[in-house]
Structure 1
Amino acid sequence: MRIWAVANQKGGVGKTTTVVTLGGLLAEQGHRVLLVDLDPHGSLTSWFGLDPDRLAHSVFDLFQHQGKVPEGLPAQLVTDTGCEGLSLLPASTALATLERKMVGVEGMGLIISRALAQLWDDFDYVLLDNTPSLGVLMVNALAAAQHLIVPVQTEFLALKGLERMLHTLEMIVRSQKNQLAYTIVPTLYDKRTQASVGSLNQLRKMYPNDLWRFMIPVDTRFRDASQMGRVPSQLDPDTQGVRAYRRLLQDLTEGTVSWADN
């Protein structure tokens, strides 16, 4: 099992789109893929037609057992997405109460790791979609992940969010004494605007060794796919956004992601 977390402490940068698109492409290759929604807003859950406000059972259930994960519970929570090879562990809005309820409970940062350990033989890839705020959910994701993908919108305000995210990563890695490789992925790129072009150049100067060598363009077909509850590559396999994510997936699996290497 390979576990990738997709995170940024700024919203609206393409985290959920990245999770769904990469997950769909992996499933098309014949892999068994699990998407995990760790955001109380439940955008990933909503993408597949589920209502985070009405779910009786969700990833929230994993956090209700004093730091332990009962045997068999993770498998019971896994839901079908309607896309062959692609499963979902959905979120409910109750996740927003975790910080208040879990104060002082030991082991809460390893719940997702323990849950995925039970599913280890059931899936080839797991993609974790994260809340944009630092807390127990993001700590869980970073503790479980083998690689971190950081989508960054190519506009100047998003660069500050990237700085915060990398600072958070540094703190968590230091506390866990475990290095976590990461890839910064420029998203929502529009070559017609100076803001996008300038931001991309700034990213290349600041993070040459960790920046993906290409970028994800603005593509309205992603919005269409989310409205229809479809994986983008199912809706239109040749759209420019899907082609970009296909290239990203190839680089991630082959380990050739750095802009500085090209």
Structure 2
Amino acid sequence: MRVWAVANQKGGVGKTTTSIALAGLLAEAGKRVVVVDLDPHGSMTSYFGQDPDTLEHSSFDLFLNKGVVPDGLPGQLLLPTSDKRISLLPSSTALATLERQSPGQSGLGLVIARSLAQLWQDFDYAIIDSPPLLGVLMVNALAASQQLAIPVQTEFLAVKGLERMVNTLAMINRSRKVPLPYTIVPTLFDRRTQASMSTLKLLRDSYPEHVWNAFIPVDTRLRDASRAGLTPSQFDHKSRGVLAYRALLKHLLTEQLVGQVA
């Protein structure tokens, strides 16, 4: 199984859409995918028709045993989605309480890595949707992953959030045996606006080795897909947004191969 995280320390940049779009395209290619919602807001969980406020069991259950993950628990928590090849490890609002509980508890940073280890033979890919703040949940996402996508909305404030994310990644990499490779994904791009054009240029000038050479455009079909509870490629496989995500997936798979050779 390959594990990808989608993260940024700023909200509203397209993390959940990116996670689900990539999962849908991998499933379309015949891959078995588990999507992991680690955001207490539960956007991914809501996307697939589940209510993070009322779910009796969720990814929160994985953190209740002082860093130990009981055998079989991750599999028991999985829920079906609109695509038979995609399973959801849902979020709940209870995840927001973890930061208060975590001080003094060792081992909580590796809970998701240990959980995915139990699902290793059942899936080809895991995609983790991370919360937009640095804490035990983001640390879990980054610690479990082999590759990171950082969606960045093409507007100035989002670039400031990216600076924080890159600094966080540098801190996390100091405790990893192998640095986590990352790709910056410009999102919500609108070539009609000066803000989008100038921000895209700034990203490419500031992070030339890490910025994907294309972008995800503004596309109302992506919003329509979320309203329908379908992956973007299920909803409209020829939309501008889906075509862009296909190109992104191809790039990430190429980066994955390069990383494996290295």
Q: Above 0.5 in TM-score?
A: yes
Length, aligned pairs only:
258
Give structure 1 stretches of 5+ with no counterpart.
258-262
Q: What does 1:238-249 align with in structure 2 at a 5 Å threshold?
A: 238-249=238-249
The answer to whether 1:11 aligns with 2:11 is yes
Measure the CA separation in 1 of the matches of 2:159 and 2:36.
26
Measure the CA separation in 1 of the matches of 2:252 and 2:40.
27
Cα shift at 1:102: 2.0
SS at match of 2:30: coil
Aligned twin of 1:170: 170
Contact 2:112–2:144 (8 Å) recurs in 1: yes
SS at match of 2:184: strand
Amino acid at match of 2:33: V
Aligned twin of 1:189: 189
Aligned twin of 1:260: none
Aligned twin of 1:235: 235
Amino acid at match of 1:84: K
Measure the CA separation in 2 of the matches of 1:194 and 1:75.
47
Measure the CA separation in 2 of the matches of 1:18 and 1:93.
21
The answer to whether 1:151 aligns with 2:145 is no
Cα shift at 1:176: 3.3
Q: CA RMSD in A?
A: 1.3
Give structure 2 stretches of 5+ with no counterpart.
258-262
For each residue in 1:69-96, what CA deviation from the matched residue of structure 2 results, as whole angstroms up to 9, or x when unmatched? 0000000001100212011000000000
For each residue in 1:33-76, what CA deviation from the matched residue of structure 2 results, as whole angstroms up to 9, or x when unmatched? 00000000000000000000000000000000011000000000
For each residue in 1:149-207, what CA deviation from the matched residue of structure 2 results, as whole angstroms up to 9, or x when unmatched? 00000001110000000000111111334310000000000000000000000011001
Amino acid at match of 1:36: V
Give me the identity figure in percent. Answer: 64
Cα shift at 1:101: 1.3
Aligned twin of 1:79: 79
SS at match of 1:109: helix
Contact 2:82–2:229 (8 Å) recurs in 1: no
SS at match of 2:111: helix
Q: What does 1:4-43 align with in structure 2 at a 5 Å threshold?
A: 4-43=4-43
Q: TM-score, normalised by structure 2?
A: 0.96
Residues 62 and 256 from structure 1, CA distance in 2 versus in 1: closer, same or farther, beyond 3 angstroms?
A: closer
Measure the CA separation in 1 of the matches of 2:142 and 2:77.
21
Amino acid at match of 2:205: K
The answer to whether 1:225 aligns with 2:230 is no
The answer to whether 1:64 aligns with 2:64 is yes
Measure the CA separation in 2 of the matches of 1:126 and 1:250.
17
SS at match of 1:3: strand
Measure the CA separation in 1 of the matches of 2:256 and 2:180.
16
Q: TM-score, normalised by structure 1?
A: 0.96
Aligned twin of 1:51: 51
Measure the CA separation in 2 of the matches of 1:203 and 1:19.
21
Amino acid at match of 1:37: D
For each residue in 1:98-133, what CA deviation from the matched residue of structure 2 results, as whole angstroms up to 9, or x when unmatched? 011122111000000000000000000000001001
